[in-house]
Amino acid sequence: MMHRVLVNRRGFLASGASALLAQQPLAALAADSACKAPPATVTTDMRAEVAVSLREALKQAKSGGSKRLTGLTRIDTVCQDDDYDILLCGVAERGQPDLYLDDLIVAIRSANRKYGNIEPGISLDPDRSQTPGLDQIAGRDAAAKQQYLRMCSQQPQMVRVDSLPRHSRVTKVLVEADYRMKQVSQGTLQLPVDPPLPGTFTRRLNQSRQMLRAGTSTGDWSSRRRFWFEPGKFEYAHDYQIASLQSAQVILSDADANADAGAKNGNEDPIAREFACDWTARMEETIRAEPIWRDMYNIYRHFAIAHILKEQNLLTYHITPLIDAHQIDHVELPDSLPGLGRWETLEETKGNRRITLVSSVCGGVSLGLAKRVTGTRVSSAGNSPSQMALLSRAILLSRPEKTSVSWTVPATALQAASKWFVDREEKRLRDEREAEEQKRKEANDTKMGAMILVGFVATASFVGWLMNRRNARPPAMAATGSDLPSAPLMRIPDEAKTPTAFAGLRRNDPCPCNSGKRFKHCHGAHETASDSD
């Protein structure tokens, strides 16, 4: 008896601004419902060991210098300085290569739809007209096996690229990761992890062997699945001009290959689901195992960072011309990749039973689900700065010069930032006190000026009144209409009555009687009248 298990795995790795914009994809919900353990979520601490200026890195690349983010192996935080430069901050992991500037620029451009309006990603598409030919191969002998493997290897998988520059490092990494994942699924490649992570073919082979020995095989069984990587849970926190990626999750999803592209429904395959769940649960371990998975993971983070930059409006016209002018290195990407096929036969000699398992990995399917990265606002409470505000200031204070491309953020930088905020708060309070004191002084000066003015007016009025009163004629003289002098003779001092008191006085001299009048209008007039008598 021969049981043919036809397994056609089609894989896809989606990436990009839109592909990363998700809280919890529908595929993840479907996977979680069957997974024994929840998908692993990589969380990052809010810290910075190394900072790189995006503006200076772009200038350096333009002048023919390095196109790496020197010293930076993972981006966790982005902030904007006082000159509208974007500072990329993260960790420097020992033994890991520096990040590529090109990868981040591709992500930023993709987030701003520079490469197209459809969902960015890659796909390995088979020639579907050849699929029936694979299914119709009859027999279980070596000739049939060779025919199957030959047809599969000669059936290329066309490399499709959507809304990404085709010949770029980003695209090449995604294609290689997708192809490698299919090899692991088929069992022709083992991940260097302990305990091992068996592929779907190995799992099905073990299951079939047990069924064969137990005599419980159920006859022919066929399943076609597709697998693809996609973003899971991406969360970030943000404060004024700073944002920090707090969780970043990449998951492996599966679905019925006969369902429409991007669909999450179809026949359930427990073995395929188990493989996807196991890989997702051990994703962080896988990322550390081989460089290709770390590159893939960092590209996902780049696309998340690019989305954050766009959503928080941190990219201004001060730096966008440099981003638009940057030249991406050409990285050759083939138009197609060889098809993958595997043929295994199990025999149980005692019962004269035989099972043949056939697997082909010959294609991919695109993914077009709308997603978004979730953000949480972290505001400073009162006059106390938030941890993110402290981190932002620590990064700025640790920069040696305005033209520095990359620099280390020391552990003491947060203390310096805290002191900076304390000093700023003290200065603010001092300025407030000085402003209040100045305002109070100005109010007192205004009040004193008004009082002085009122006093001056009152004094002037009183003096005027006295002068008018002194210059006024006596009532008796006013009543008779006489032109006699205003001061009666009886009021003239005795010494002023003597002729000698008036000797030598001229008519326009002040009268010695202290009347304030001229002599000719006072006693001079009296003397004149007396002389006339």
Any domain includes 398: no
pLDDT at residue 401 greater than cutoff 70: yes
Nearest to 530 by CA among 475, 486, 474, 485: 485
Strand ranges inside 70-191, DSSP E: 74-80, 86-91, 99-100, 121-125, 157-162
Question: Is 395 inside any structural domain?
Answer: no
- Indicate the residue among 427, 447, 472 that finishes a domain: 472
Instruction: Determine the Cα–Cα distance for residues 397 and 390; give it in Å rounded to an integer.
Output: 10
Structural domain including 482 reads 475-532
What is the signed CA dihedral for 455, 459, 464, 470, rounded to 10 degrees?
A: 160
Question: Across the chain, what does the average pLDDT equal?
Answer: 75
- Domain stops at, among 456, 472, 488: 472
Kindly state whether residues 434 and 525 are assigned to the same domain.
Answer: no
- Same domain membership, residue 467 and residue 369: no
pLDDT at 394 over 90: no
Q: pLDDT class for 469, splitting at 50, 70, 90?
A: confident
End-to-end CA distance of the chain: 174
Average the pLDDT over each of 124-133, 229-238, 419-428 and give the range with the smallest value: 124-133
Q: Considering the domain boundaries, does residue 162 fall inside one?
A: yes
CA–CA separation, 273 vs 159, rounded Å? 25
35 vs 215, more confident? 215
Does residue 356 sit in the same domain as residue 440? no
Percent of the chain with pLDDT over 70: 65
* Residue 121 domain-assigned (yes or no): yes
Res. 25: pLDDT tops 80: no
Question: What is the spatial distance between Cα 456 and Cα 451, in angstroms, rounded to a whole number?
Answer: 8
The verdict on 431 and 306 lying in the same domain is no
Q: 124 vs 532, which has greater pLDDT?
A: 124
Residue 320 identity (one-letter amino acid): T
The whole-angstrom separation of Cα 261 and Cα 367 is 7
- The token duo for 494 is 């005795």
- Residues 90-111 have a mean pLDDT of 93
Instruction: Say if residue 169 is in the same domain as residue 304.
Output: yes
Segment among 218-227, 280-289, 318-327, 467-476 with least mean pLDDT: 218-227
What's the pLDDT at 337?
85
Nearest CA among 403, 106, 86 for reference residue 243: 86
The CA–CA distances, whole Å, from 437 to 31, 423, 433, 444 equal 67, 21, 6, 10
**CA–CA distance, 407 with 327 (Å, rounded to integer):** 24
62/524: higher pLDDT: 62
In degrees, rounded to 5, the angle at the alpha carbon of residue 343 between the alpha carbons of residues 216 and 337 is 140
Whether residue 390 is contained in a domain is answered as no
CB atoms within 10 A of CB 364: 29
Q: Is residue 392 part of a domain?
A: no
Same domain flag for 177 and 282: yes
- Tell me if 27 sits within 8 A of 182, measured CB to CB: no
Nearest C-alpha neighbor of 15 from the set 112, 119, 118, 105:
119
Task: Tell whether 285 and 433 lie within a shared domain.
Answer: no
Q: Do residues 441 and 482 share a domain?
A: no
Per the model's pLDDT, the better-predicted residue between 243 and 260 turns out to be 243
379: confidence class by pLDDT, cuts 50, 70, 90: low
Range 152-171 average pLDDT: 84
- Amino acid identity for residue 287 in this structure: I
> Based on the domain organization, do 456 and 514 belong to the same domain?
no
Q: How far apart are CA 485 and CA 467, in angstroms?
A: 17
Share of the chain above pLDDT 90, in %: 28
Count the domains in the chain. Answer: 3
Residue 349 or residue 119, greater confidence:
119
Which residues fall within 8 angstroms of residue 169, CB to CB, at 6 or more apart?
100, 102, 103, 329, 331
Same domain, 445 and 325: no
405 is a domain residue: no
Query: What is the phi/psi pair of residue 99, to 5°?
Result: -70, 155
Domain edge (last residue) among 443, 472, 501: 472
Give the pLDDT band (50/70/90) at residue 213. Answer: confident
Q: Report whether 9 contacts 269 (CB < 8 A).
A: no
Q: pLDDT tens digits for 259-272?
A: 544 445 556 778 88
Question: Same structural domain for residues 370 and 453?
Answer: no
Same domain, 246 and 276: yes
Number of Cβ within 10 Å of residue 262's Cβ equals 17
